[in-house]
């Protein structure tokens, strides 16, 4: 079994986490994982589904219907929700607020933790967030 490495870089907003994580991932040949984009993907999905991101019952009910995937296209992380590339849609202020709300839901955190662990089992990763 090949040894894998997972590095997580955490800190306050604006501290340069993503800049350092991207540079380090590129230098080491690791995958860069923007964990915030994963929360944004769930926030986007909830908004598109007509739900409220702070409605834990609604969000938890929809998690089994949700597939979030990270794909790397031309070395850039792209986020797919149920097979659709949503990368260009998850950076709006509305989705940012939705991401913040869904991140407070324990079931969402567990859902994404499993995705992140699976990614780290298959790849060397630098995770931002």
What's the whole-number mean pLDDT along residues 91-98? 96
Assign 99 to helix, strand or coil.
Answer: helix
pLDDT over 90 (residue 28): yes
pLDDT over 70 (residue 1): no
pLDDT over 90 (residue 88): yes
- Report whether 14 contacts 61 (CB < 8 A): no
The burial class, CB within 10 Å (0-12 / 13-18 / 19+), for 124 is middle
Residue with tokens 């950076």: 91
């Amino acid at each position: 079994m090949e040894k894998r490495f997972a590095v997580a870089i955490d800190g306050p907003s604006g501290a340069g986490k993503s800049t350092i994580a991207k540079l380090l991932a590129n230098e080491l040949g690791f995958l860069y994982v923007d964990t915030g984009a994963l929360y944004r993907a769930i926030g986007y999905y909830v908004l598109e589904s007509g739900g409220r991101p702070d409605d834990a019952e609604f969000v938890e009910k929809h998690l089994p219907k949700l597939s979030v995937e990270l794909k790397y296209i031309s070395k850039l992380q792209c986020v797919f929700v149920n097979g659709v590339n949503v990368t260009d849609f998850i950076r709006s202020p509305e989705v940012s607020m939705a991401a913040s709300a869904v991140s407070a839901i324990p079931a969402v955190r567990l859902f994404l933790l499993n995705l992140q662990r699976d990614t780290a089992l298959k790849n060397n990763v630098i995770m931002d967030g």
